[in-house]
Structure 1
Amino acid sequence: MFRVPATIAAIFILAFGGAMLSAVYALQATIGFGSIAIGPWSAWPMAQTEQADPYAKAHRARAGQLLLGDAEGLVFFADNDSSGGRLITECDYVVTGQTPPARFWTLHATDADDTLLEVNPAYPSAFHSQNVAKYENGAFAINISGDPKTGNWLATGRRYQPFKLVLTLFDTPTAGSSRLIDLQMPEIIRGACRNG
C-alpha cells in the first residue's frame, strides 16, 4: 500500500538532492563563462558587468563578494605555476616580471576557499605596487615561501596545502580592453620544495 508512494518520494528526494549538489558544484567550479588565461593567470572580465552570464551572477551572490566594475579594475587568479604545476605551500616560488599598466595593484595568497592563508602576523602576507622593491626597469621579483627570504617575501605559512595567488589591478586601462590576451603578466617560477 505504501510501497508506490515511498518509491516516488525516494525518487523525488534523490532527484532534488542531485540537482542541489550539481548546482553547488557548478557554482564552486567556475566564476562564469568568458574567462581569459594569460600564462598561469586567469581572469573573468565579464563577471562583474551587466552582461555577466547566470553562473557568474549566481557565483557572485553565493560568495557575497563585491566585484570591481569593468572601469575600476580586474582580478587575476593563479593556482598553477608557469610550468603548469599546482601551487602548494610545500614549495617556494618567485613571481617575477611586470604587471600590466595600473594605477595600483595588490598581490596576496588564499586557500582553495578564497580565505587568506594563515601566517604569523609579523610576516608579510600581501604586497602592493607601493611597497614592493623594484628593479630600475620597473620589474620586480617576489619570493613566495613558508620560510623567510631576503628581498620581497610573501609568507605562505607552514601548513601544507594548495593555494592561489590573487593579483588585483586597480584603475587599469586593460579592464575595458578587448586586447587582454596580449598583456604581459608576471611569471610564477617554482623553486625548491620541502617534504610535506
Structure 2
Amino acid sequence: MFRTPLVIATALAVAFGLGILSSIYALRATVGFGAIALGPWTAFPAAQTVDADPYAKAHRARDGKLLLGGAEGLAFTAASDSEGRTLVENCRYSISGITPPARLWTLHAADRSGNPLGGIRKGLPSGLNAWSVLRAADSSFTIRISAAASAGNWLAVPEGKAPFLLVMTLLDTPTAGSSGVIDLAMPGIERLDCADA
C-alpha cells in the first residue's frame, strides 16, 4: 500500500536532486557562449547585453553583479599565464605590453568567483588603472604581480598558494562593440619564479 507512493517520492527526489546538481555544475562550468580569447585573457562581450545566452543570464542572476553595458566597457579575465600555467599567489608575474584603446582601464586580482582578493595588507596596491601606471615612451607598461614589494608598477597579492584571476576592465572602449576585437592585442602574462621552486 505504501510502496507505490514511496517509489514515486524517491523517483521525484532523485530527479529534482540531479536536475539541481546538473544546473549548478553547468553554471560553474561556463560563463556563457561567445567568448573572445586574446592570449590568456578571455571576455564575454554579449554577457551583459540583451542578446546574452541563457547561461550568461543565469550567471548574472546568481551572482547579483552589476555588469557593464555593451557600449560601456568590456571585462577581460585571465586564470593562467601566457604559457597556460595557473596563476597562484606564491609566484611572481610580469604583465607587459599595451591594452586596446580605452578611455580608462583597471586591473585587480580576484578569487575564482570573481571577488577581489582579501588578505592584502592595508596600504598595498590591490588595483591599478591607466592613469596611475608608469609607461615607457611607446605607451607600453610592465606590471609586477607578487606578494613581495617590487619597484615600478606593482600589484600586491596575498601570501599563500591559492589560485587567483586577473581582471582587466576596459571602460569606454570601442573594443566592446567592435567585431574586429580578435585583431586586438592584450598584454602578456609571464611567470618569473615561484617561492616553492
**TM-score, length basis structure 2:** 0.96
Deviations 1:4-29 (A, max 9, x none): 32122112111101111111121222
Q: CA deviation at 1:160?
A: 1.7
Q: Partner residue of 1:141? A: 142
Q: Partner residue of 2:168? A: 167
Deviations 1:21-71 (A, max 9, x none): 111121222221111111000000011111111111111111111111111
In the aligned structure 2, how far is the partner of 1:25 from the partner of 1:147?
36
In the aligned structure 1, how far is the partner of 2:151 from the partner of 2:4?
71
1:116 aligns with 2:125: no
Name the % identity.
53
In the aligned structure 2, how far is the partner of 1:131 from the partner of 1:31?
31
Q: Partner residue of 2:153? A: 152
Deviations 1:77-96 (A, max 9, x none): 00010000011111110011
In the aligned structure 2, how far is the partner of 1:55 from the partner of 1:152?
37
Q: CA deviation at 1:141?
A: 0.5
Runs of 4+ in 1 over 4 A off after TM superposition: none
The two structures, once aligned, show a CA RMSD in angstroms of: 1.1
Q: CA deviation at 1:73?
A: 0.6
Question: Equivalent residues in 2 for 1:72-151 (5 A)?
Answer: 72-118=72-118, 119-151=120-152
Alignment gaps of 5+ in structure 1 = none
In the aligned structure 2, how far is the partner of 1:129 from the partner of 1:114?
21
In the aligned structure 2, how far is the partner of 1:57 from the partner of 1:100?
27
| Count of paired positions | 196
Which shows bigger deviation, 53-62 or 24-33? 24-33
Question: Equivalent residues in 2 for 1:58-69 (5 A)?
Answer: 58-69=58-69
In the aligned structure 1, how far is the partner of 2:6 from the partner of 2:161?
47
In the aligned structure 2, how far is the partner of 1:16 from the partner of 1:149?
52
User: Secondary structure of the residue that 2:109 maps to in structure 1?
Assistant: strand
In the aligned structure 1, how far is the partner of 2:115 from the partner of 2:38?
23
Matching residue's letter, 1:189: E
Alignment gaps of 5+ in structure 2 = none
In the aligned structure 2, how far is the partner of 1:150 from the partner of 1:11?
62
Deviations 1:139-181 (A, max 9, x none): 0101000111111111111122000000000000111100111
